[in-house]
Amino acid sequence: MLQFQCDYIQGCTPEILKRLSDTNNDQFPGYLADDICASAVKKIQKAVGIPDADVWFMIGGTPTNQLVIDSMLQPYEGVVSVTTGHVNVHESGAIESTGHKVITLPAHDGKMCADELRELMKRFYADETFEHQVFPGMVYISHPTEYGTLYSKAELEALAAVCHEYSLPLYVDGARLAYGLASRHTDVTLEELARIVDVFYIGGTKCGSLFGEAIVFTKNNTPSRFFTRRKQHGGLLAKGWLLGIQFDELFTDGLYLRLGKNAIDMAEYMKEGIAAKGYPFLLDSPTNQQFPVMTNEKLKELEGKVLYSTWEPVDETHTAVRFATSWATTKEQVDQLLALL
C-alpha cells in the first residue's frame, strides 16, 4: 500500500538513529540538563541568527501549542487564530482546556490577513462592552499553514506590525517549517522568521526526527519559570537527551533544510504529474502538502492502493484530498502514485 496520507509515517533520518545507537551506553543527567541538549541549543541559536534565543525542547505539536499559548496569555486573554488553524480545529480543545478562548478570523487559503487582524483589534477596543469580553492576547499562525501555504516576508511583517501595535506576541507554529524554508516560492528564511516573530517552534516530528519540537523565544520574552510550566503541562521528558539528539543532528551540516528539500522536490514532481493528468487543485500549495480535486469515483478506485487524507467535499461528485510528501519520500513512490492516477 502506498502511503501519502501525511508526513509522519516513518521513523527518522539515519543520522539520528545512528546517534541513538552511539550514545545508548552513555549516561546522562535527566530533564534536558545534558550536553547534547546544550549543543543542540547552540546550533539552533546559530541557525536562527540570535545568539541569546531561548530554546526549549518538547515532544509533540499539540502540547507545544498548549504550553506556549497558555504560558504567554493572561487568564482573561484568548489567542487569535484563523478558523482553520490547528489550535482551533484539531487539538481536541487543548487550548480551551487551559482556560483560553480561540478567537477566530477568516482563513484565506489557511492564512491570516493583517488588515482583518487590525480591524478585529480596533473593533474590540471600540466596543463599549470590551471589558465583558475575552481580550485578544496573542496571535497564532502556522507556516506552512494547514493548507500548505506560506506567508511572504511582507505578510509576516504586516502581521507583526499589528501585533506590536497592540502588544500581542506573534507566535508561529512551525510543525512543517522545514518544508516552508525549503519551498521554491518563499522569501522567508529561518533568520528572517526569527527576527520578525516573537516565538515560534521548529518542527521535528514531521520533518525527519522521531519526535520533538524546538520552541524558540526570540526576544528575551520567555515566560517566568518555564521549566516548571513545561513540567506541569506534562511536557518534560525524563531522558531529555533524546530530544537533544534529534535537534543536534537536524541542525548539523544543514540537514534540516536538506530534509525539507527532499520533500519539496518530491512534492513539485508529484504536483506536476498530477496536473499533467488534468486534475485541478483546491489551491496552489508551494510546500509538501498537495490538494488535488478528484471525482469520488476515482477515489473509490484508489481504495486499498494508496492512503491519503480526505480534505473537504468540493461538490456532490468531487472531493479535495491531500497527498503529502516528506523528508523520506522517494521518486519511486511518487512514480507509483502517479501511475495509479
Q: Which of residues 282-341 bind a copy of itself (CB under 8 A)?
A: 307, 309-310
Does 132 bind a copy of itself (CB under 8 A)? Our answer is yes
By CB under 8 A, residue 133 contacts a copy of itself: yes
Q: Does 180 bind a copy of itself (CB under 8 A)?
A: no
Q: Which three cell numbers, joined as nine digits, stand for 224?
A: 517566568
User: What residue type is 80 in one-letter code?
Assistant: V
Pick the closer one to a copy of itself by CB: 196 or 210.
210
Distance CA(339)–CA(337), nearest Å, equals 5
Q: Which of 42, 54, 89, 252 is the binder for a copy of itself (CB under 8 A)?
A: 89
- Residue 101 engages a copy of itself in binding (rule: CB under 8 A): yes
User: In terms of CB distance, is 186 or 209 closer to a copy of itself?
Assistant: 209
CB of 276 to a copy of itself, least distance (A): 26
Residue 14 or 191 with smaller CB distance to a copy of itself = 14
Q: Is 28 in the site for a copy of itself (CB under 8 A)?
A: yes
Query: Least distance to a copy of itself from the beta carbon of 63, Å?
Result: 3
What is the DSSP code string of 275-311? HHTT--BSS---SSEE-BEEEHHHHHHHTTTEE-EEE
Min separation Cβ 100 and a copy of itself, Å: 6
Q: Which of 45, 66, 84, 246 binds a copy of itself (CB under 8 A)?
A: 66
- How many other CB atoms are found less than 10 A from the CB of residue 223? 14
- According to DSSP, residue 130 is labeled G
Contacts of a copy of itself in 250-279 (CB under 8 A): none
Shorter beta-carbon distance to a copy of itself: residue 27 or 220: 27
Measured distance CA(179)–CA(327) in Å, rounded? 9
Nearest CB to a copy of itself, comparing residues 234 and 280: 234
Using CB under 8 A, which of 93, 106, 254, 280 touches a copy of itself?
Answer: 93
DSSP letter for 111, please.
Answer: B
Give yes or no for a contact between 193 and 143, defined as CB atoms under 8 angstroms apart: yes
Q: Of 52, 128, 297, 332, which lies in the binding site for a copy of itself, with binding defined by CB under 8 A?
A: 128
Do 36 and 42 form a contact (C-beta atoms < 8 A)? no
DSSP 8-state symbol, 222: P
Length of the chain: 341
CB of 96 to a copy of itself, least distance (A): 4
Q: Residue 285 CB, nearest distance to a copy of itself (Å)?
A: 19
- For residue 272 the three cell numbers come to 506536476
User: Is 98 within 8 Å of 72 (Cβ atoms)?
Assistant: no
| Cα 183 to Cα 98: distance, rounded to the nearest angstrom | 35
- The verdict on 234 binding a copy of itself (CB under 8 A) reads yes
Q: Which is nearer to a copy of itself, 159 or 177 (CB)?
A: 177
* 237: contact with a copy of itself by CB under 8 A: yes
- Min dist CB 230 to a copy of itself, Å, is 9
Instruction: Please report, to the nearest 10 degrees, the dihedral formed by the alpha carbons of residues 126, 131, 133, 134 taken in order.
Output: 100
CA distance linking residue 293 with residue 288, whole number of Å: 16
CA atoms within 13 A on the CB side of 253: 2
Residue closer to a copy of itself, measured from CB, 145 or 186? 145
Contact (Cβ atoms closer than 8 angstroms) between residue 271 and residue 291: no
Task: Return the range that interacts with a copy of itself (CB under 8 A); candidates 186-194, 223-231, 273-281, 297-305.
Answer: 223-231
Pairing of strands 199-203, 170-174: parallel
Number of residues that bind a copy of itself (CB under 8 A): 75
Closest CA to 247 of 237, 255, 235: 255
Nearer to a copy of itself among residue 182 and residue 207 (C-beta): 207
* Window contacting a copy of itself (CB under 8 A); options: 182-190, 229-237, 282-290, 314-322: 229-237
